[in-house]
Amino acid sequence: MQKLYDEVSSLDKRCYENFGLSEDILMEHAADGMADFIKSKFSKGSSVLIVCGSGNNGADGIALARLLHPDYNVKILHLKKPKSDMAKLQKKRLDAIGLKECCTIESCDVLVDAIVGTGFRGEFNPEISSVIDEMNNSDAYKIACDVPSGYKFFADATLTMGALKKDMYLDAHKEYVGDIKVIDLGVGRDIYECESNWNLLDLEDLNLPNRNKKDTHKGSYGHLACVVGEKIGAGVLCSKSALRFGAGLVSVVGYNTTNIPHSIMSSELLPKTTSAIAIGMGLGDSYSDMDLKSFLNNDYPLIADADILHMDILQEILKRENVVLTPHAKEFISVLRLCKLADISVDELQKNRFKYVELFCKTYPKVTLLLKGANVIIAKDDKFFINPHGSSKLAKGGSGDVLSGLIGSLLAQRYTPLEATFNASLAHVSLALNYTGSDFSLTPDDLISQIGKL
Ligand SMILES: NC(=O)C1=CN([C@@H]2O[C@H](COP(=O)(O)OP(=O)(O)OC[C@H]3O[C@@H](n4cnc5c(N)ncnc54)[C@H](O)[C@@H]3O)[C@@H](O)[C@H]2O)[C@@H](O)CC1
Ligand SMILES: [K+]
60 CB under 6 A from ligand 1?
yes
Residue 99 confidence (pLDDT): 87
pLDDT in tens, 202-245: 999 999 998 888 888 888 899 999 999 888 899 999 999 999 99
Query: Ligand 1 center to residue 178 CA distance, Å?
Result: 20
137 in a known ligand binding site: no
279 CB under 6 A from ligand 1?
no
Give, as one character, the DSSP assignment of residue 8: S
Residues in CB range of 142: below 8 A, 6 or more apart: 110, 111, 113, 135, 136, 153, 154, 155, 156, 157, 178
123 CB under 6 A from ligand 1?
yes
Residue to substitute in 23, 29, 56, 185 for testing ligand 1 pocket (most ligand atoms within 8 angstroms of CB):
56
Best-predicted range by mean pLDDT (137-141, 183-187, 213-217): 137-141
Rounded to the nearest integer, the mean pLDDT of the chain is: 95
* Strands 141-145 vs 157-161: parallel, antiparallel or unpaired: parallel
Residue 229 confidence (pLDDT): 87
305 CB under 6 A from ligand 1?
no
- Domains of the chain plus CATH, in order, are 2-196 (3.40.50.10260), 203-453 (3.40.1190.20)
pLDDT level of residue 274 (50, 70, 90 thresholds)? very high
CA–CA separation, 100 vs 174, rounded Å? 34
pLDDT level of residue 374 (50, 70, 90 thresholds)? very high
Which element (helix H / strand E) includes 124?
Answer: none
ipTM confidence: 0.97
Q: Which atom of ligand 1 is nearest to the CA of 86?
A: 14
In this predicted structure, the answer to whether residue 284 has a pLDDT above a threshold of 90 is no
Give, as one character, the DSSP assignment of residue 365: T
Contact (CB, 8 A) for 242 and 405: yes
Give, as one character, the DSSP assignment of residue 100: -
Give, as one character, the DSSP assignment of residue 101: B
In this predicted structure, the answer to whether residue 291 has a pLDDT above a threshold of 80 is yes
Atom 5 in ligand 1: residue holding the nearest Cα:
56
pLDDT in tens, 93-111: 999 998 878 989 999 999 9
28 CB under 6 A from ligand 1?
no
CA–CA separation, 264 vs 233, rounded Å? 13
The predicted model gives 340-358 an average pLDDT of 97
Give, as one character, the DSSP assignment of residue 308: G
Residue 3 confidence (pLDDT): 97
In this predicted structure, the answer to whether residue 26 has a pLDDT above a threshold of 90 is yes
Cβ count within 10 A of residue 312: 9
Q: Which atom of ligand 1 is nearest to the CA of 58?
A: 17
354 in a known ligand binding site: no
90 CB under 6 A from ligand 1?
no
> Which residues sit opposite 101 in a β-bridge?
76
The predicted model gives 386-391 an average pLDDT of 96
> Which residues sit opposite 252 in a β-bridge?
226, 266
pLDDT level of residue 289 (50, 70, 90 thresholds)? confident
Contact (CB, 8 A) for 250 and 239: yes
Shortest-distance ligand to the CA of residue 145: 2
Which element (helix H / strand E) includes 212?
Answer: none
